[in-house]
């Protein structure tokens, strides 16, 4: 099992009384409040809730529970996850040019931010679910529209969404042949790297301190080659997004480790942006585009749920165990309305948690977590604190455990 | 069938008498002498011949007939091909540091050049058949050795070899795990593009007018992404090398066309550097590294030879039909000593030509060729000449048919 030392910090806390003098030989309660590691999930299911909509609201693409079930789900979601991915698929976000879904997504983003959740927008540029009205534009006009869309949305959400999957699946973008679309045309005519540069420049110039990701499902050398080219071209990528939909079966520790090592070579943080593990039948291996697999019924099964729980534990241990990984986003909280109808959720369609939910919660909130613990300060007011990096409190006063060393906290009067 | 207009030229030849006056109303014989298009093959089989060695000479890696059969093969080779690839696999070329096989390869290169053949060296940098003594060097020392090797060899062969496969199979280079080697280590530590830059800089600075190729077997988006990155990084690549070993079956026109279109997008000439079509059993599709397939006997069969002849015709029609293709090198003249023992040659091990040889010769020297033809000059000494681009003669005096337009030739006294 990999060492988790890179996730932990050993600090010595000096606790001061409200008057500034050390609190000596006294019991204090130290408790973890949050993780530095980003345990993410999609937030698609809560857009309707945040907007007080009913079930008639159109669900977002790629996953989204009915509004009526979202309130019950929210507690389960918030008990485990600290990072949400919200959908900005252009074809859904702005199906009619000039009428973006900004207000609705802003309310959803604030709903999460108000609950202490880091929010990411996904994606700003992609050939799938692309704005249909790009079809009538010239390539130059597509480029201008893409640029303007990014500048508008990154500006509109700045402060509440400061992390973006800027551009998605560029490896395949210029040769994507499933449906004609403006982005494929742009990437074919101008090249992948100029298209990436356009998107990153627009996002970076609009929100210079944002965390900007390149994201792809292609884990082959193709994505490595693309990343190398992008970095050589001087485009600043803040994190490498690795999708990891495993509808066709869990990768296993060895393959996952190899992928992480290969992409860690660039020295950038890795975000596992879209992890999926099924609790039912696997998708046949011959399917290349997951969207091609359409089945009328895809139930969660007891055996599948046991397997999913085992695999989610192994997957998260591998990810948390690798020093380059900074975020792991699971793709779906519930089977209700799940992408492709797959039993990918951590919660069944009836709202009850699957074993995988309990397993992940146990890891995130128990094994990798410091529950409220009574400790006694020394004669100089000092007490060692060791735990997963994140936010903590001592007698209710917050502090950060970000690295080994000294931390001083002054209690409130 | 694709138009071949891009391969042809329609010129009007003005024939002058030795005294400079037009040769009017006179029969002249016009004949094609050579092709502008590079019809290549490996020249490995003639190294021993060029060096007057006997069969005890060690054959080069990846193909090479016994010396005793080479003389008979040479006529067949030279009757069809105008471009030769010679082996510079570092591990064979310089197995002991400081003792390169320069003199022997120089004689082989001159042997071809003396016969009007364009010679290419292959490759200057590769992880396979890599110099074993790199293993003991640090990564920086590997880089220095690679740089020095390229500068030395490109200088030593300048004037006789001015075309180089500079670096081979970089897509897989840093993640190649079949055997430890210095180049994989270099590409892993420094990255693919810096490794390519090192190799191209060394070659370009040594022979600024050389034709320098990037070469790969990977026809996927990975190679596209690599090329994009290389070009964005400002590395000048003169032609894109596409291997096309088809031991596992002919690609077919449609796939070939799609590959050519995808790689033509960069606006660079395409060289099909290593085409192979078998006249026997195909290699099983599950083999990933062709070198893994070792069989004790792999015969050429009558059915296989008929299929090979059909496929070679279709393959060459597709390549010659695509305007971006500038060169097509077949990988092997004879089955004797062929790479992997595969029946990939155009000539059987017993020295008799296969149907594929006759087919290719028919295309290159008949259908796409202007045999000696008697034409009559006009009252102003002019005569239209139309044919495949290349070198021609009129009454034995050479001229070039490189593009549509006017050509003036003065006969010799």
Query: Helix, strand, or coil here: A168?
Result: strand
Partners of A230 on chain B (C-beta within 8 Å) are: 229
Taking residues B79-104, report their average pLDDT.
97
Taking residues B222-229, report their average pLDDT.
97
Q: What is the ipTM of this complex?
A: 0.88
Would you state the structure tokens that stand for residue B350, as one six-digit string? 């017993």
pLDDT in the model for residue B314: 98
Answer whether residue B15 shows pLDDT above 70: yes
Q: Given this structure, which CATH class describes domain B37-367?
A: alpha beta
Answer whether residue A64 shows pLDDT above 80: no
**Is B228 within 8 Å of A229 when comparing Cβ atoms?**
yes
Are A167 and A124 a contacting pair, CB within 8 Å?
yes
The DSSP element (H or E) to which B364 belongs, if any, is: none
Average pLDDT, chain B: 95
**Is B229 within 8 Å of A224 when comparing Cβ atoms?**
no
Place of tokens 């090249």: A191
pLDDT in the model for residue A337: 86
Partners of B191 on chain A (C-beta within 8 Å) are: 228, 232
pLDDT in the model for residue A68: 80
Q: Which residues contact A371 (CB under 8 A, 6 or more apart)?
A: A31, A32
How far, in Å, are A50, A80, A106, A364 from residue A114 at the CA level? 11, 16, 12, 21
Interface probe for B, chosen from A219, A232, A235, A268 (most Cβ of B below 10 Å), is A232
Is the pLDDT higher at A342 or at A58? A342
pLDDT in the model for residue B62: 66
With a pLDDT cut of 90, the percent of chain A lying above it is 91
**How many CB pairs lie under 8 A apart between chains A and B?**
72
Answer whether residue B14 shows pLDDT above 70: yes
Question: Does the pTM exceed 0.90?
Answer: yes
**Is B229 within 8 Å of A229 when comparing Cβ atoms?**
yes
Q: Which residues contact B275 (CB under 8 A, 6 or more apart)?
A: B244, B245, B246, B315, B328, B329, B330, B331
Instruction: Please indicate whether the domains covering B5-32+371-410 and B37-367 agree at the CATH topology level.
Output: no
Where residue A170 falls (left for φ over 0; alpha for ψ -120 to 50; beta otherwise) is alpha
Would you give the distance in Å from CA A130 to the centre of its chain? Answer: 21
Place of tokens 């058949």: B129
**Is A175 within 8 Å of B262 when comparing Cβ atoms?**
yes
Answer whether residue B74 shows pLDDT above 70: yes
With a pLDDT cut of 70, the percent of chain A lying above it is 98
Beta strands per DSSP E along A281-340: 325-330
For the stretch B91-112, what's the b/e string if a residue is b when 16 or more beta carbons lie within 10 angstroms of its beta carbon? bbbbeeeeebbeebbbebbbbb
pLDDT in the model for residue B221: 96
| Separation of alpha carbons B334 and B346, rounded Å | 6
Answer whether residue A60 shows pLDDT above 90: no
Would you state the structure tokens that stand for residue B203, as one six-digit string? 């070659």
Instruction: Measure A173 CA to nearest chain B CA, in Å.
Output: 10
Query: Helix, strand, or coil here: A40?
Result: strand
Quick: pLDDT tens for A201-230.
Answer: 999 999 999 999 999 999 999 999 999 999
**Is A221 within 8 Å of B221 when comparing Cβ atoms?**
no
Nearest Cα neighbor of B186 from B244, B158, B147, B237 is: B147
Query: Helix, strand, or coil here: A244?
Result: strand
Partners of B285 on chain A (C-beta within 8 Å) are: none
Is the pLDDT higher at A1 or at A351? A351
**Is B225 within 8 Å of A229 when comparing Cβ atoms?**
yes
pLDDT in the model for residue B195: 98
Architecture of domain B5-32+371-410: Sandwich (2.60)
DSSP codes of every residue in B246-298: ETT----HHHHHHHHHHHHTTSS-EEEEEEEE-SSPPPPTT-SSGGG---S--
The angle at the Cα of A164, spanning A162 to A167, to the nearest 5 degrees, equals 155
pLDDT tier at B59 (50, 70, 90 boundaries)? low
**Is A229 within 8 Å of B226 when comparing Cβ atoms?**
yes
**Is A193 within 8 Å of B229 when comparing Cβ atoms?**
yes
| Separation of alpha carbons A282 and A404, rounded Å | 43
A185 touches chain B (CB under 8 A): no
Select from B175, B191, B225 the Cβ nearest to the Cβ of A262.
Answer: B175
Nearest Cα neighbor of B14 from B309, B413, B411 is: B411
Answer whether residue B60 shows pLDDT above 70: no
Average pLDDT, chain A: 95
pLDDT in the model for residue A40: 98
Domain layout of chain A by residue ranges: 5-32+371-410, 37-367
B229 touches chain A (CB under 8 A): yes
How far, in Å, are B130, B154, B192 from residue B187 at the CA level? 13, 21, 5
Nearest residue in chain A measured CA to CA from B231: A229
B190 touches chain A (CB under 8 A): no
pLDDT in the model for residue B120: 98
Quick: pLDDT tens for A333-376.
Answer: 999 988 889 999 999 999 999 999 999 999 999 999 999 999 99
């Amino acid at each position: 099992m990999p060492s988790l030392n890179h996730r932990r910090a050993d600090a010595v806390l000096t606790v001061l009384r409200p008057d500034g003098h050390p609190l000596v030989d006294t019991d204090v309660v130290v408790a973890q409040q949050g993780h530095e590691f980003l345990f993410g999930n999609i937030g698609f299911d809560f857009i309707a809730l945040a907007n007080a909509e009913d079930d008639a609201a159109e669900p977002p693409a790629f996953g989204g529970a009915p509004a009526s079930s979202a309130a019950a789900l929210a507690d389960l979601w918030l008990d485990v996850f600290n990072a949400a991915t919200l959908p900005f698929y252009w074809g859904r976000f702005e199906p009619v040019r000039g009428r973006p879904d900004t207000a609705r997504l802003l309310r959803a983003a604030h709903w999460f931010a108000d609950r202490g959740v880091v929010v990411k927008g996904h994606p700003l540029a992609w050939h799938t679910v692309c704005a249909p009205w790009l079809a009538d534009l010239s390539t130059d006009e597509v480029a201008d529209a893409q640029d303007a869309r990014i500048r508008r949305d990154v500006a509109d959400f700045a402060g509440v969404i400061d992390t973006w999957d800027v551009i998605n699946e560029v490896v395949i973008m210029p040769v994507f042949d499933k449906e004609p679309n403006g982005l494929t045309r742009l990437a074919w005519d101008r090249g992948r790297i100029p298209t990436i540069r356009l998107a990153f420049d627009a996002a970076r110039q609009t929100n210079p301190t944002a965390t900007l990701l390149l994201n792809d499902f292609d884990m082959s050398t193709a994505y490595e080659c693309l990343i190398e080219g992008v970095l050589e071209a001087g485009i600043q990528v803040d994190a490498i997004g690795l999708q990891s939909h495993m509808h066709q079966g869990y990768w296993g520790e060895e393959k996952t480790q190899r992928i992480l090592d290969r992409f860690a070579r660039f020295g950038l943080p890795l975000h596992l942006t879209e992890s999926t593990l099924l609790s039912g039948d696997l998708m046949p291996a011959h399917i290349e585009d997951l969207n091609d697999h359409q089945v009328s019924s895809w139930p969660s099964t007891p055996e599948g749920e046991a397997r999913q729980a085992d695999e989610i534990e192994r997957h998260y241990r591998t990810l948390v165990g690798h020093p380059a990984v900074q975020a792991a986003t699971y793709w779906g909280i519930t089977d209700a309305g799940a992408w492709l109808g797959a039993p990918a959720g951590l919660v069944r369609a009836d709202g009850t948690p699957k074993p995988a939910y309990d397993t992940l919660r146990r890891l995130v909130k128990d094994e990798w977590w410091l529950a409220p613990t009574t400790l006694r300060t020394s004669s100089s007011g000092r007490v060692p604190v060791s735990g997963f990096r994140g936010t903590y409190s001592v007698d209710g006063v917050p502090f950060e455990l970000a690295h080994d060393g000294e931390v001083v906290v002054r209690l409130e009067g």
